[in-house]
Each structure stands twice: as structure tokens, then as C-alpha cells.
Amino acid sequence: KQVIIPPLPIFQFEEYMTSKAKRVNKALDETVQLRHPAKIHEAMRYSLLAGGKRVRPVLCIASCELVGGDESSAMPVACALEMIHTMSLVHDDLPCMDNDDFRRGKPTNHKVFGEDTAILAGDALLSLAFEHVAAKSTEISPDRVVRAIAELGSAVGSEGLVAGEIMDIDSEGKDVSLNELENIHVHKTAKLLEAAVVCGVIIGGGNMIEVERVRKYARCIGLLFQVVDDILDVTKSSKELGKTAGKDLVSDKATYPKLMGIENARKFAGDLLAQATEELAYFEVARAAPLYHLAYYIASRQH
Ligand code: GRG
């Protein structure tokens, strides 16, 4: 099948991302204040306000606006998504998981506050995410708030992020098929992006057709994010090494370039971008402009 990627609608995307991220940061800062007990709130704020790209909150707000809702209605869910994403990073970095020392350009949470506090800070962020949506989405009909909460819960739990992480852990040192690799990424990355757009549409008053369109869009950009990540790992390290085989072509970890070859991985990325934009074709182009640009942004990222 021939891949057709439509031209991008004209739209000030960088400005859009920056201004939305700024308002999300402000809302997060106000939501997680430095109160008693100071240590746990410091640890929560340390990772939450460490300057991520805020892709999930922006996806949520953009999807809410796509169906006619406004930014302020989506803000509690947008903040919850970032709390959940951040807690998953804090736990992922722990010595018993990936054992990473740096995240978002700073020492990881457990390096600064200790493992015990890092685990608790993650737990507190996860719990607060759900409390915040339930307590602050006061202008949205309760049935929509409950649907959004259910969507968030399923994106996190044993059929969501946690499923992706356990499958990833179990796959270590084993031969992983393309299907298994896709399944890990769908759960570790795509599920929360799906929840972001689906919750945005639910809160914005959208219908089931709209929900399913954005869900498919998010699944494509979630996989796209990982394929691009894998390709960048190869090209980055081959530049560093001055060789054709980069780090991830020789390391243990299963990646798309390793399983299908770099050219097919690039083609797969193109297919995913085309599929993502196909789902958006259902909506009015001008309203969907931020989502088109987000997909291109993920596809063309250079680092
Ligand atoms: C969720 C209860 C619960 C436990 C955690 C550890 C774990 C289970 C899941 C791991 C999830 C994980 C680390 C997925 C990778 C997600 C990903 C694509 C991270 C990078 O996202 P960006 O680029 O990062 O959006 P920034 O820093 O910009 O936000």
C-alpha cells in the first residue's frame, strides 16, 4: 500500500506547545504545593517540575479542543496524566528497575531523596492523579469524569503501563519477536498517550466515533515514538563510533532496526505517521492542526 502523508496545515506549533506547557506547569506547581510533610512534597515536586516536554497533557488539551471543549476543563486530567507519567519514570529509574542516575537532565529522584522516598513520591503522585481529576473536574458531567477516570486507571494498571513494564522485564536476555516488541511498546508508551487523547475527547464532550479515532491516532504515534527512538539510538551511536553498526545493533535490547533492519524501520515509521494522519482526516483540518503537528514532531525528532 502506498504511503500518503498529507501536507501539514499551517499552524504555529512551537508557540502552541510552549504556551500550553507553560500553563500546564503552572497548574502542576499550584496543585502540588510544598506542604507538610515537606520531604515527600519536595520529592514529588522535584520530578514533576523537572521540565519534561508535557506531550501527554498537551495531547489531552488538544483533543478536548478538537471536539469543542476548552483548556480549563481538560486541565485536571492533563495534570493527572503528567503525574502518572512522572511517577512511572521515578519508579522506572529505581535500582530494582532500570537503575538510572539521570532523568530530565537532573539526578534521579532516588539519587537525591533515597529509594524509600522515591517509591513513596511515586505512590503519592499516582494517588493524587486520581484524586485531582475526581475533585477538580467540577464543571464536567459526572458520567464523563467517571469514564475518564476509568480510562486513566486502565492505562496505568496490569493491562497498561505495568503490563508493558513486566513484559519488558521478562523479555530481558531473550529473543523477542516483532509482535512481542510491539506489544511492549503499545503498553509502556502508547497506552498513556491513548488515555491522554481519549480523556481529552471525553471531557470535551466528544462521541464514541471521535474517541475511537483519536485512540487509533495515539496508538500510532506511541509506536512511532519508539521506532524513532530506536532509529535515533542507531544513528546517534554510529556517528559517535564512526561505524555503520550503532550501540543498539550490538547490545542485547530488542529494537526495530535490529529486528527488521534500519531501512524497514524507517519505512515503518513513515507508515505509522501516515496511519496517524489518516485517523485525523475524520476531523476538520483546522481543529486537528495541533494533533497533525504533534505526530510530525514525534516523527521528525532528531534527539
Ligand atoms: C505506573 C504504577 C506504575 C508503575 C510504573 C516503571 C513502570 C511501571 C512503567 C515504565 C513506564 C516507562 C518508563 C515508559 C517509557 C515511557 C516514555 C516513552 C518515556 C519518555 O517520555 P517523554 O519523551 O519524556 O515524553 P519527558 O521527560 O519529555 O516527559
How do residues 277-290 score in pLDDT, each as one tens digit?
999 999 999 999 99
- Of 46, 59, 86, 88, the one to substitute when testing ligand 1's pocket (max ligand atoms within 8 A of C-beta) is 88
How do residues 59-87 score in pLDDT, each as one tens digit?
999 999 999 999 999 999 999 999 999 99
Q: CB pairs under 8 A, 24+ apart, for 281-284? A: 281/6, 282/209, 282/210, 282/213, 283/66, 283/210, 283/213
Look at the chain and count its residues. 303
DSSP-assigned beta bridge partners for residue 106? 103
Q: Report pLDDT for 1.
A: 62
Q: Which domains does the chain have, with CATH numbers?
A: 13-299 (1.10.600.10)
Q: Report pLDDT for 240.
A: 61
Q: Report pLDDT for 246.
A: 47
ipTM attached to this prediction: 0.95
Crossing angle for the helix pair 208-241 and 262-280, to the nearest 10 degrees: 150
Question: 263, 246, 171, 187: which is closest to 222 by C-alpha?
Answer: 187
Does the beta carbon of 301 lie inside 6 Å of ligand 1? no
CA-to-CA distance for 46 and 109, rounded, in angstroms?
A: 7
Instruction: Decide if 152 contacts 81 (C-beta within 8 A).
Output: yes
All three cell numbers of 295: 505526530
Write the Ramachandran bin of 122: left for phi over 0, alpha for psi from -120 to 50, otherwise beta: alpha
CA-to-CA distance for 188 and 166, rounded, in angstroms?
A: 9
Instruction: Decide if 134 contacts 79 (C-beta within 8 A).
Output: no
C-alpha torsion angle, residues 13, 18, 20, 23 (rounded to 10): -170
Give the residue carrying C-alpha cell 522485564: 169
Q: Report pLDDT for 236.
A: 80
Element (H, E) at 172: none
Compute, in angstroms, the gap from residue 1 CA to the centroid of ligand 1: 33
Does the beta carbon of 188 lie inside 6 Å of ligand 1? yes
Report residues of the chain scoring pLDDT below 70. Answer: 1-2, 237-251
Does the beta carbon of 52 lie inside 6 Å of ligand 1? yes
Strands (E), the chain: 102-103, 106-107
Does the beta carbon of 97 lie inside 6 Å of ligand 1? yes
